[in-house]
Amino acid sequence: MKILYVGKDKNSYKILNEVASLSQSEVIMVESLEDAKNYITTNRDIHGIIASPKVDNLPSLQLLSILKRDENLKDIPFIILGEDITKEDIEYYKAMGVTEVFEIPFNPLEVFLILTAALKDAKGEEVVKQILHEAKKDKSLFMKILELIKKLFGIKSE
The 10s digit of each residue's pLDDT in 97-142 is 999 999 999 999 999 999 989 988 988 888 777 776 544 444 466 6
Instruction: Assign residue 20 a region (left: φ > 0; alpha: ψ between -120 and 50; beta: otherwise).
Output: alpha
Asked whether residue 17 is assigned to any structural domain, the reply reads yes
CATH number at residue 43: 3.40.50.2300
Task: Please state, as a whole number, how many other Cβ atoms lie within 10 Å of the Cβ of residue 38.
Answer: 12
Nearest partner of 64 among 102, 24, 44, 36, judged by Cα: 36
Find the domain containing 22 and state its range. 2-152
Q: For residues 131 and 2, is the Cβ–Cβ distance under 8 A?
A: no
Nearest partner of 27 among 57, 44, 51, judged by Cα: 51
Task: Please state, as a whole number, how many other Cβ atoms lie within 10 Å of the Cβ of residue 20.
Answer: 22
Whether the per-residue pLDDT at 146 is higher than 50: the answer is: yes
Asked whether residue 78 is assigned to any structural domain, the reply reads yes
Rounded Cα–Cα distance for residues 99 and 14 (Å): 22
Looking at the structure of the chain, the number of domains it has is: 1
Note the pLDDT of residue 139. Answer: 45
Asked whether residue 158 is assigned to any structural domain, the reply reads no
Whether the per-residue pLDDT at 70 is higher than 50: the answer is: yes
Asked whether residue 118 is assigned to any structural domain, the reply reads yes
Please give the backbone phi and psi of residue 37, each rounded to the nearest 5 degrees, phi first: -60, -45
Note the pLDDT of residue 145. Answer: 74
> Residue 77's pLDDT band (boundaries 50, 70, 90)?
very high
